[in-house]
Amino acid sequence: MGGAVQQMRPGMTLRILFLTKYSKLGGSSKHMVYSYLEFYEQAGISCTITPLFDDRYFSFRVLSRPATLAEIVGHAGYFFHRALNRLSQLLRVSQFDLVALEKELLPYFPFGLETLLKARQPKLVSLYDDAVHAHYALNPSPLVRWLCRDKIRRVIAISHHVIVWNDYLAEYARQYNLNVSVMNTGIDLRRYRVKTERDQNPDGRVVIGWIGTPNSFPYLSGLEEAFVRLSGRHNVELRVISSMDYQNRAIPVSNRRWSLATEVDDLCTFDIGIMPLTDDIGTRGKSAYKAVQYMGVGIPVVCSPIGINAKIVQDGVNGFWAQTPEEWFEKLSRLIEDPGLRQRQGAAGRRLVEETYSVQAVAPRLVNILKSLV
């Protein structure tokens, strides 16, 4: 799976510093960096990772919204220490052959520090799996919108190379930098097992499942009309994997706390995975990681055909597209009523993941790109 890996000359070791936003507990950092470390090491790449926010960050922060002023003040010492640690990395970047930066050096700070980084290490690679530029443009604070109005555009412009995880982000990045590579979302096939009969709900209910952070709960609430009709006609429940409980009176809800250890087993209790979205500049840049996770455990997906979703989920093959409440009700009902259809679409999704959307398939291309830059 994937392309052949370029070979470095004997004795050569490529040294890369990864400046991630989070430790491996953060989804974006895990998705873009940590999942590939063993493949980099096997290819002769020495990896050093310095996260902006370490594991302690997740003991007091839920990644469902920007940090509040109270949280920042209450943990000012922590944030100050982590910012100083990030700035100290600028003194060491010349020791490496290449620096890979996840999105930006410091969130909510104006552009500028990245130019110092570029001056000390011209081989700067920026990584994006989300439309950060859109989040700044839509931020409720006028000050943040003004300070960061063109920050991501300028980071992209000074990068030696840009790696993105969907075509929408590639289109945006290529306005400012011609050296852009598009990666597929990848999950680790060694972790993601296929759902079996042992995972079935013992009470016979069909489980409609969703995984995500609480800031995406509004997308679920947008399906309330369809949920009312589904729960009135079928024996179903909505199962939510998140860091907080989700409540909806339109349909029975069971909540599971997200953890890396139980994530895959909880996904296997789903019969159908859903990914509803609204259509805006922020959602068009999402990576469709949820959809790939659902397909990875062999269940069908019903999604809004927004951005990369419309490419990964093939309507009628490995899932369905749905936009209106009527379409959500009709597509989910078809899957609820037909276990054979669920099995066929789930198997098709798993095959697609094995061929295209696994870290095993994506890693060789990432290795080749990074080696070619030095």
**Are residues 81 and 182 located together in one domain of the fold?**
yes
Q: How far is CA 172 from the centre of its chain?
A: 18
**Are residues 262 and 345 located together in one domain of the fold?**
yes
**Are residues 180 and 327 located together in one domain of the fold?**
no
**Are residues 52 and 174 located together in one domain of the fold?**
yes
pTM of the shown model: 0.86
In a domain, 8, yes or no: no
Considering its fold, how many domains does the chain have in total?
A: 2
- Reference 66, options 124, 12, 145; nearest CA is 145
Distance (Å, whole) CA 276 – CA 305 = 9
**Are residues 150 and 74 located together in one domain of the fold?**
yes
**Are residues 128 and 211 located together in one domain of the fold?**
no
| pLDDT the model gives residue 3 | 39
User: Tens-of-pLDDT digits for all 374 residues of the chain?
Assistant: 333 333 344 455 899 999 999 998 888 999 999 999 999 999 999 999 999 999 888 777 655 455 666 666 777 888 899 999 999 999 999 999 999 999 999 999 999 999 999 999 999 999 999 999 999 998 889 999 999 999 999 999 999 999 999 999 999 999 999 999 999 999 999 999 999 989 988 888 999 999 998 888 999 999 999 999 999 999 999 999 998 899 999 999 999 999 889 999 999 999 999 999 999 887 888 888 999 999 999 999 999 999 899 999 999 999 999 999 999 999 999 999 999 999 999 999 999 999 999 999 999 999 999 999 98
CATH number at residue 210: 3.40.50.2000
| pLDDT the model gives residue 8 | 41
**Are residues 265 and 351 located together in one domain of the fold?**
yes
In a domain, 1, yes or no: no
In a domain, 7, yes or no: no
In a domain, 159, yes or no: yes
**Are residues 78 and 217 located together in one domain of the fold?**
no
What does the longest C-alpha to C-alpha distance in the chain come to?
A: 67
In a domain, 167, yes or no: yes
Q: How many residues does the chain have?
A: 374
**Are residues 208 and 90 located together in one domain of the fold?**
no
Q: What is the 3-state secondary structure (H, E, C) of the chain?
A: CCCCCCCCCCCCCEEEEEECCECCCCHHHHHHCHHHHHHHHHCCEEEEECCCECCCHHHHCCCCCCCCHHHHHHCHHHHHHHHHHHHHHHHCHHHCCEEEEECCCCCCCCCCHHHHHHHHCCCEEEEECCCHHHHHHCCCCHHHHHHCCCHHHHHHHHCCEEEECCHHHHHHHCCCCCCEEECCCCECCCCCCCCCHHHCCCCCCEEEEEECCHHHHHHHHCCHHHHHHHHHHCCEEEEEEECCCCCCCCCCEEEEECCCCCHHHHHCCCCEEEECCCCCCCHHHCCCHHHHHHHHCCCCEEECCCCCHHHHCCECCCEEECCCHHHHHHHHHHHHHCHHHHHHHHHHHHHHHHHCCEHHHHHHHHHHHHHHCC
In a domain, 180, yes or no: yes
**Are residues 173 and 250 located together in one domain of the fold?**
no
Q: Domain containing 103: what range?
A: 14-186+358-372
**Are residues 244 and 123 located together in one domain of the fold?**
no
Token pair in block for residue 197:
């009969």
In a domain, 192, yes or no: no
Token pair in block for residue 190:
């060694």
In a domain, 253, yes or no: yes
| pLDDT the model gives residue 9 | 46
**Are residues 162 and 205 located together in one domain of the fold?**
no
